Amino acid sequence: MKNKILLDDHITVEECSGHLSSVEDAIYVIGGKWKLKIIIVLQESSNIRFNELQRKIPGISARVLSNELKDLELNGFVKRVVHAEQMPVIVEYISTDYSKTLKPVIMALSDWGRNHKNNIREDVF
Could you give the angle at the alpha carbon of 103 between the alpha carbons of 100 and 109, nearest 5°? 150
Each residue of 3-25: pLDDT tens digit?
555 555 678 888 889 889 999 99
- Alpha-carbon distances, residue 21 vs 4, 30, 77, 101, 102 (angstroms): 18, 15, 21, 20, 18
Distance, in Å, from the CA atom of 96 to the CA atom of 15, rounded to the nearest integer, reads 31
Instruction: Please give the pLDDT value at position 4.
Output: 53
Work out the average pLDDT over 99-116: 96
**How far does CA 54 lie from the centroid of its chain?**
16
Instruction: Please give the pLDDT value at position 46.
Output: 84
Instruction: Please give the pLDDT value at position 125.
Output: 78
Instruction: Please give the pLDDT value at position 64.
Output: 98
- Report the share of the chain in percent with pLDDT over 90: 80
Per-residue pLDDT at 41 exceeds 80? yes
Each residue of 46-92: pLDDT tens digit?
899 999 999 999 999 999 999 999 999 999 999 999 999 989 999 99
Whether this prediction's pTM lies above 0.75 is answered by yes
Instruction: Please give the pLDDT value at position 12.
Output: 87
